[in-house]
Amino acid sequence: MIVKGLIVPGKPHPLLVSDKNEGWKKLNQAFDKARKEIEATQADVLLIYSTQWLSVIGHQIQADPEPRWNHVDQEWHQLGTIPYQFKMDSSYAEEYQSCAQKRGLHARTVSYQGFPIDTGTVVALKLLNPQNKLPACVVSCNMYADRAETLVLGKAARDALEKQNKKAVAVAVTSLSHRLFTKDIPYAEDRIYSQKDDEWNRKILELLSHGRLEDVSQLAREFSQQASGDQKMKALWWLASLMGQHNRYDGIVHEYQPIWGSGAAVVSLTPSSKKEFEREFDEEDVEFFGSAQSKDLATPQSSTSKAAISVANAPKPVGAYPHARRVGEMLYLSGIGPRNSKDNSIPGGPVRNEKGQAQNYDVAAQTRAVIENVKTILEGSGSSLEKVVDIQVFLVDMDRDFKNFNAVYAEYFKDIQATRTTVSISALPTPIAVEFKVMALA
Amino acid sequence: MKGQVVAGVLAPHPPHLVYAENPPQNEPKSECGWEELRWGYERLRQQLSHIDYDVIIVHTPHWHTHTGHHILSVPKMKGLSVDPVFPNLFRYSYDLQVDVDLAKVLYEEFQASQLSSQLMTNKDFRVDYGTIISGHLVQPDWKKPIVSISANATYFDYSNDVGQDEMIRLGEATRRAVERSGKKAILLASCSLSHRHFTVEPPLPEDMSHEHVYNHNQYLWDMKVLKLMKEGKTQQLMSIMTDYIEQSVSETKAGSLTWLMGGLSFPTYPAQVHAYGSVIGTGNAVVSWMEAQS
């Protein structure tokens, strides 16, 4: 469930140079008020949608458990470097990706050392969660996505929270009006770019101060047209959808100030039980995106020929085949070994070195890594280890390895009771001792 | 001695091309892919190996700025470039030299031309992946220094005509700066042509059975543009540029190609088209302009 929603700006000024402008200082203080609100919620995770993380191939979800970097903004590099080390909820990220796929969205998790986390996310996390008290999950803003796709993305985030029984604070990192100065201005002379932008900003802030998030979501298109809304105000579609598409919130506008001409506000929305007026919907609500209409059509690639699945954080296949393939209710996994997805190393060591000489490997460690890789692929495909139906196991040295393999296997599958066949073979394509071939319910 | 723009190149930056090549700097490895464009880059590199130049000036769509045109100005830049859209394909360790002296001359000339600009001097700055990809494809050994200029698309947000005017002025100012610097420079526009692309990726990115230009209309527009380039009709190209941007969602909206044409004083000599091909649906061409060779 969502215990609180926040709207915050993503420009670096309140973080890096709040002393240079009275308005940026007030925004910094407003972030601090929002931080205290978060800390009072006992939430499990901070969900972030940032308009500065743009994607084009569906949506991306950050799954690196501890991203770190010395970040410099593309535009405001002269304001300084922002070193960061964040804590992400990788498990939730995987769940979110899976739920997004089930609702017909193209989504993948990313977990790469040095992945460029956007300034908006960096600013929000540094100011709202400076001690990393909460793990976070960040989702990208698809630059081509319109309202329907973004609403479904919000609903998928809600699905994932329900599945993991977690409480979250949702943060929309976005400017309001987004007309920026194109020439340098003295910091002290910052102002909202135009009176019209200012009036529109104040209009939607008034609605938000009354907790009318869904009304603002309905107004997003008009607002964007009139006031150059930041990325069409998609962040508000995501937030409204994630928070249940209603107006029953207690809203507080902590601050509203300009940042380089754009409208910047810190707003908090807390679910309440107050009475709600009838809402006006200008468009049909949408539960699934594209052709997906039910769980049976959960994948965006609904035809048999396109039902191949590739999971970003699983070891890369060694040939032209996908990690898995969904046919009807069943999921068929390609043979999977113990290789580490990040560096291709083999936990427990290889069975032979580069010269072909036999090595003293640890089959228990290899088996554990195989099962973890199977788990990653299943979860990335919307399934789970508990849904495994049948397993074929290939061992390169049955006499040496069966006992230790079998012990680790039992740790995971004793209660699942999948059928199993174990065979001895002479070799596998990479220097590994064990490989699984798995079938599971989708 | 008066400097000179010795060549201009249109050098698009799909990370797929570096991924398919498997250079040691890039972590992800592939089996194959996008050979026509990669072979076009081979021909371009061969052609550039016969000319004498000191520096490559890159105009890059993936360094977005709003307040003026920013210029890379740190002498040595080393780091990891990870494509935020295709991190599965491009995680590249770069180590390059920047011609800071030329960067300063560019800055002075932009200012003198009433073009809002600033120098980028933060040593922790990560060079944008457009610069890195085009830079690698043109000179994988990174022997010659570069200078990157950001894309300020704000002017195009007002209207494509306003954007065009700004980028022509920027190109002309770039040319004057090169002449003042006494250096021989190649101007590199790092952009695709048509840019409507698929929103899903095949399970195996280099599976070429999935690759084709997004639609026929896009292809027709790209061919029209390339024909004008080959015929040396770049003024005519500029006159259709705003329509082209609208009709084919062209990445030239970032201004790189217009900047290049301004920098080359609107060539009337024919361009050499080394290759055309699609990458995830977008149209890409490797093109060079060399007056001496035409």
Between A70, A116, A317, which is nearest B124 by CB?
A: A70
Residues 6+ apart with CB under 8 A from A119: A10, A11, A12, A52, A71, A73, A74, A82
Q: Specify the higher pLDDT residue, A69 or B162.
A: A69
Residues A14-39 have a mean pLDDT of 98
Q: Is residue A278 part of a domain?
A: no
> What does the pLDDT look like over B18-67, one tens digit per residue?
999 999 999 999 999 999 999 999 999 999 999 999 999 999 999 999 99
Lowest average pLDDT, out of A263-267, A345-349, B101-105, B260-264, goes to A345-349
Q: Is residue A223 part of a domain?
A: yes
Same domain, A87 and A228: yes
What string of DSSP letters covers B142-167? --S-EEEEEE-THHHHH-HHHHHHHH
Domain that holds residue A343: 303-441
Percent of chain A with pLDDT over 90: 78
ipTM of the complex: 0.94
Q: Is residue A187 part of a domain?
A: yes
Q: Is residue A298 part of a domain?
A: no
Q: What confidence category does residue A303 fall into, taking pLDDT thresholds of 50, 70 and 90?
A: very low
Residues A26-42 have a mean pLDDT of 97
Could you tell me the two tokens for B244? 């082209």
Residue of A nearest to B27 (CA): A343
Q: What confidence category does residue B158 fall into, taking pLDDT thresholds of 50, 70 and 90?
A: confident
Residue B133 and residue B63 in contact, taking contact as beta carbons nearer than 8 Å: no
Residue A66 and residue A346 in contact, taking contact as beta carbons nearer than 8 Å: no
Q: How far is CA B96 from CA A36, A189, B131, B132, in A?
A: 44, 38, 11, 9
Is B155 in Cβ contact with A116 (below 8 Å)? no
Same domain, A349 and A435: yes
CB pairs under 8 A between A and B: 102
Lowest average pLDDT, out of A284-288, A294-298, A355-359, goes to A294-298
Cite the DSSP H helix spans in B98-233.
100-112, 129-138, 154-158, 160-181, 216-230
Determine whether A54 is exposed, middle or buried from the number of CB atoms within 10 Å of its CB (0-12, 13-18, 19+): middle
Chain A residues interacting with chain B (CB cutoff of 8 angstroms): 53-58, 60, 70-72, 74-75, 77-78, 80-81, 106, 110, 112-116, 118, 142, 144, 180-184, 228, 260, 300-301, 308-310, 312, 316-317, 320, 322-323
Q: Is B253 in the A-facing interface, judged by CB distances under 8 Å?
A: no
Q: How far is CA A38 from CA A47, A139, A211, A363, B58, in A?
A: 12, 19, 17, 46, 45
Distance CA A46, CA A135 (A): 6
Q: How far is CA A17 from CA A2, A14, A130, B142, in A?
A: 32, 6, 17, 36
Domains identified in chain B, total number:
1
Task: Indicate the residue among A271, A287, A322 that finishes a domain.
Answer: A271
Please tell me chain B's helix, strand, coil percentages from 3-state DSSP, rounded to the nearest 5.
Answer: 40, 25, 35
Interface test with A, best of B126, B209, B282 (most A CBs within 10 A): B126
The pLDDT value recorded for residue B219 is 96
Same domain, A112 and A229: yes
Domains identified in chain A, total number:
2
What is the three-class DSSP state of A263? strand
Interface test with B, best of A182, A289, A332 (most B CBs within 10 A): A182
E strands along A197-272, which residues?
249-259, 262-271
Cβ-Cβ contacts under 8 Å, A430 against chain B: none
Q: Is B117 in the A-facing interface, judged by CB distances under 8 Å?
A: no
Residue of B nearest to A60 (CA): B85
Same domain, A207 and A249: yes
Is B204 in Cβ contact with A57 (below 8 Å)? no
Domain that holds residue B54: 4-293
Angle at the Cα of A379 (from A375 to A385), degrees rounded to 5? 45
Q: Is residue A295 part of a domain?
A: no
Same domain, A251 and A312: no
Cβ-Cβ contacts under 8 Å, A116 against chain B: 82, 84, 126
Is B121 in Cβ contact with A106 (below 8 Å)? no
> What does the pLDDT look like over A148-190, one tens digit per residue?
999 999 999 999 999 999 999 999 999 999 999 988 899 999 9
Is B64 in Cβ contact with A57 (below 8 Å)? no
Same domain, A218 and A315: no
Q: Is residue A290 part of a domain?
A: no
CATH code for the domain of A195: 3.40.830.10
Is A113 in Cβ contact with B200 (below 8 Å)? no
CATH code for the domain of B151: 3.40.830.10
What is the three-class DSSP state of A167? coil
Is B120 in Cβ contact with A77 (below 8 Å)? yes
The answer to whether residue A328 scores a pLDDT higher than 80 is: no
Same domain, A248 and A330: no
Q: Is B124 in the A-facing interface, judged by CB distances under 8 Å?
A: yes
Task: Indicate the residue among A271, A287, A319 that finishes a domain.
Answer: A271
Residue A333 and residue A311 in contact, taking contact as beta carbons nearer than 8 Å: no
Mean pLDDT score of chain A, rounded to an integer? 92
Question: How far is C-alpha A30 from the geometric centre of its chain's CA atoms?
Answer: 26
Q: What confidence category does residue A291 fall into, taking pLDDT thresholds of 50, 70 and 90?
A: low
In the block, residue with structure tokens 């003042």: B180
The pLDDT value recorded for residue A296 is 35
Task: Indicate the residue among A230, A247, A271 that finishes a domain.
Answer: A271
Q: What confidence category does residue A239 fall into, taking pLDDT thresholds of 50, 70 and 90?
A: very high
Residues 6+ apart with CB under 8 A from A372: none
Q: Is B247 in the A-facing interface, judged by CB distances under 8 Å?
A: no
Interface test with A, best of B60, B67, B280 (most A CBs within 10 A): B67
Q: Is residue A362 part of a domain?
A: yes
> What does the pLDDT look like over A387-397, one tens digit per residue?
899 999 999 99
Angle at the Cα of B207 (from B202 to B209), degrees rounded to 5? 95
The model carries a pTM of: 0.79
> What does the pLDDT look like over A421-441, one tens digit per residue?
999 999 898 899 999 999 998
Q: Is residue A279 part of a domain?
A: no
What string of DSSP letters covers A349-370? --SB-TT--B----HHHHHHHH
Distance CA B216, CA B218 (A): 5
